[in-house]
């Protein structure tokens, strides 16, 4: 069966007829069920530091902002990881600004301790770090790495994600490097960044497929008033601008499920922020299969303000866990158990290890999804 063409993806991103979109979401939901099942995995998000050396034009953690910052201690991180186990989560995600105060050896010891004490899978999301650090962390127990490329358009990327000194920021190369180091790799984009066109978002989705990503996070861009993209003089929408609406996120998630049928796709907190009532459910019904509840200790949460008004920030971890489980069960889905990694890749890895062959194999021959354009 043919894959989705560039024109088909573009067509769906521009589609606004709710009846037509219902068929897209239903197809994505079916592909999700076939390839990754009904389990919804819970990943406990621990925001370990709000320090950042970057000046990203979209992000509230950018270095230029004068505000109180924090870096969690070893014991605080371990306590949060243990609470993830108690709550029944299979994975913790350690996320931060790009903070070189998080020293490689120090974090390696924390990772080893989590691995020795718990059955948790560990995902890192610490920005663009050096190869040696990434290698050390992988050897110390990190399983996955999240690094959104934010946009595949080089000019837009350069405009919103200034390079640091002379070093080129090439997140796609870094993702390839992470995969070669043995990480499961996750990436993603925001929908509705000023200057983002439907053509660009189409190419983003094609890049998810080309990279054969294990995880893809997609959320709406939410303007932060203390950043260049949220300031009164921010660039205004041009022709073909992608909106940061809930519909647009759902379309992008659904199309991503169709091109990356085996990937783990979160229904993001940013999506829940623009529709606090049932945005999370809409994500799960459009192809997503992961939630990322916040496990960051209460005093730090307000200081990790990537964007304003983040959903569920005032709920403690136990309340949040109960609420998310109820939402999952109301949809007739089940809460995932265990690490919930990419099923096929993990299976391939062990098979290949047995045969001691190169680890990377192309996507299997399962029928690729076809969406009949209406």
Stretch that binds ligand SAH, among 92-100, 131-139, 259-267, 318-326 (CB under 6 A): 92-100
Q: How far is the CB of 187 from ligand SAH (least distance, A)?
A: 9
In terms of CB distance, is 237 or 351 closer to ligand SAH? 237
With a CB cutoff of 8 Å and minimum separation 6, the contacts of 71 are 48, 49, 50, 51, 96, 99, 101, 102
Is residue 208 close enough to count as binding ligand SAH by CB under 6 A?
no
In terms of CB distance, is 114 or 270 closer to ligand SAH? 270
In the region spanning residues 177 to 196, those forming contacts with ligand SAH, defined by CB under 6 A, are 190
Q: Which of 58, 208, 291, 300 binds ligand SAH (CB under 6 A)?
A: 58
* Residue found by looking up tokens 């560039």 in the block: 6
In terms of CB distance, is 223 or 331 closer to ligand SAH? 223
CA distance 276 to 225: 21
C-beta neighbour count of 360 within 10 angstroms: 12
In terms of CB distance, is 50 or 83 closer to ligand SAH? 50
210 near 296, Cβ under 8 Å? no
Closest C-alpha among 152, 160, 159, 163 to residue 128: 163
* Residue found by looking up tokens 């990436």 in the block: 187
User: Which x/- pattern, by CB under 6 A, does the window 107-146 give for ligand SAH?
Assistant: ------------------x-x-------------------
C-beta neighbour count of 335 within 10 angstroms: 18
Is residue 147 close enough to count as binding ligand SAH by CB under 6 A?
yes
Tokens at 321, concatenated: 């866990």
Q: What is the DSSP letter of 236?
A: P
Beta strands in the chain (DSSP E): 39-49, 91-96, 121-125, 144-146, 184-191, 215-220, 290-291, 334-335
Stretch that binds ligand SAH, among 83-91, 196-204, 215-223, 358-366 (CB under 6 A): 215-223
Which residues of the shown chain bind ligand SAH in the complex (CB under 6 A)? 58-59, 95, 97-98, 125, 127, 147-148, 150, 190, 219, 221-222, 224, 270, 306-307
């Amino acid at each position: 069966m043919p894959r989705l063409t560039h024109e088909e993806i573009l067509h769906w991103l521009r589609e606004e007829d709710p009846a037509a979109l219902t068929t897209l979401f239903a197809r994505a939901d079916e592909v999700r069920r076939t390839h990754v099942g009904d389990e919804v995995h819970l990943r406990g998000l621990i925001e370990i530091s709000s320090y950042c050396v970057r000046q990203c034009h979209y992000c509230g953690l950018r270095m230029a902002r004068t505000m109180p910052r924090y870096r969690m201690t070893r014991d605080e991180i371990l306590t949060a990881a243990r609470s993830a186990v108690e709550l029944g989560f299979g994975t913790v995600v350690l996320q931060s600004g790009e903070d070189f105060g998080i020293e490689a050896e120090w974090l390696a010891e924390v990772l080893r301790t989590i691995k020795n004490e718990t059955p948790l899978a560990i995902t890192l999301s610490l920005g663009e770090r050096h190869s040696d650090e990434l290698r050390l962390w992988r050897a110390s127990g990190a399983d996955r790495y999240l690094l959104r490329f934010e946009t595949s358009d080089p000019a837009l990327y350069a405009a919103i994600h200034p390079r640091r000194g002379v070093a080129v920021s090439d997140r796609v190369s870094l993702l390839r490097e992470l995969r070669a180091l043995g990480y499961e790799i996750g990436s993603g984009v925001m929908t509705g960044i000023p200057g983002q066109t439907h053509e660009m978002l189409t190419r983003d989705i094609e890049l998810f497929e080309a990279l054969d990503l294990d995880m893809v996070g997609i959320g709406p861009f939410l303007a932060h008033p203390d950043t260049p993209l949220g300031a009164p003089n921010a660039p205004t929408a041009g022709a073909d601008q992608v909106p940061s609406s809930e519909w647009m996120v759902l379309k992008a998630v659904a199309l991503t499920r169709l091109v990356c049928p085996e990937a783990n796709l979160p229904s993001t907190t940013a999506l829940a922020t623009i529709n606090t009532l049932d945005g999370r459910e809409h994500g799960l019904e459009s192809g997503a299969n992961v939630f990322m509840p916040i496990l960051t200790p209460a005093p730090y949460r307000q200081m990790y303000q990537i964007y304003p008004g983040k959903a569920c920030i005032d709920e403690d971890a136990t309340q949040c866990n109960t609420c998310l489980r109820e939402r999952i069960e109301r949809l007739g889905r089940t809460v995932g158990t265990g690490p919930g990694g990419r099923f096929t890749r993990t299976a391939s890895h062990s098979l290949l290890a047995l045969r001691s062959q190169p680890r990377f194999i192309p996507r299997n021959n399962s029928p690729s999804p076809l969406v009949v354009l209406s």
